[in-house]
Structure 1
């Protein structure tokens, strides 16, 4: 099944048409509900507390129970209205409720619009480890309405920028849109934003069509995510996911060392530095240990992606290599 992408500056009316259907069950979070709750007025719904802390098996069970209690069956369509946490969680419920029902994703954050809403990855966390329990379940539709983005706080904006900057070193078109700097994104330039959202979605859709289950070319999207996820775990999710991806890109580039083109490393460092992302104090051994438990690993080695546009490739590193690299990076700061 191919997901239908519907884009526009303001899709409010279309969203209301979807949520007013008797088959709809809306999942959203407490922040989105405060501003956009009228989008599903009168519909069956469940509101989760905003934040990564809701992406749990316990919350998964509460949503499924609410659906059962409200009479949802196999004809139900789950409608996720929110950021990445809402989409991941609601999509996983849709993938498993009565062995699978349709779902529609309405991403309301920059991160969700350019990354997590496309591709069918759904999951919950297991303790501090991200996305350990989940399924691949493509949404029937994704409604990308850029009007949601104008109310985002700075941290959520930076979160989405992390994934756009990552894609800029995988897809030359995104790099060209940014014209060699994240400055226009930091300024929230409308034309640059819309072009980036459109191209990031197109790039990820193309990869997903070729490799839904992430066994080949789709792995490229994991640039910055191995050390990024490890920092996210050890820092107890105090920052946004996209910020950890930016940190992961910078540190992974350093760890990869001579395997990576020197000019590319400098470009990545310059992009990340310009965002002003704030690194936490961390224990390199704890970060390396968290990397060892990353779901992308295999054969006892740590999987790190080396970004190089169409030549992006996977590099397998030992625990000692990652520990040494992360330690040296920290000492160099």
Structure 2
């Protein structure tokens, strides 16, 4: 496609670029199969899914019940016994009767199990008289039973603490991190509505402008929170009557604290706060070992700090990658259309009116 004649004989006739304008051209109707686009989308979705999983782990570390949390995240019916469902919908008297009936059934089952165990053990003793196990065989059986019990317990705990994330949770993370324009840049192509090459370039530049606007919006939220915290501290100092000199020191200390974080860190803190992470935990500093420091000890606090540290790293990486990808797409789009020219643009505009660039399917209303 580097041949100068390609744009006269190929572009817009039987080949077309992907919506991110990667170097490889595609047959008309197959640009949605671009390997680079698919890989970028999968990596982006995996990052958001991992962030959503860590958010669930963070909520569990704060004391939320994993079972209730899963039900709240998925908004799906939980597999509960029919009797339990009926007890919830019945009145108090009916619930008491059902509970008493269930307890009686449990006692009957326990008695039957005890009788079965006693008879089985007596039969085992009688059967074991002719052939007595050696010490090696007894140790092997005991070891196998212990291993089976340990494996069953591990699988049970794994099912109990399984992290389940909905598609809606991933979309929520995407909206918080990138704003409403994130889906528009990936779901439509500028040629579907733009009429000139200049409008195409402006549309791609608009995606970058929307990223900047969303960043300003995130920064404004954290600025408002810090301003309210500063005013609250000033009011508290004035109320306790420490004098003008003490209030001046506190104010200067707060102003110096505004420069403790760069813009990227402030963006991460604002995003995590909107995602539901406590502001005081988001603002914790990292010690030399790379683990977030905290004033309270304990394994639970250490686990929570580790989760938040991973969230910070993932969110920061995702914000940087998303913005870089949008800027690179804008640069590639400008270079492609400067090379292709108006004639190719007219051909591809007609194709965009007939086919969906993302799927290769004919649009509605086309024969």
Q: Give the alignment's TM-score, normalised by structure 2.
A: 0.20
Relative contact order: is structure 1 or structure 2 higher (C-alpha 8 Å, sep ≥ 6)? 2
Which has the larger helix fraction? 2
Which has the larger strand fraction? 1
Q: Give the alignment's TM-score, normalised by structure 1.
A: 0.22
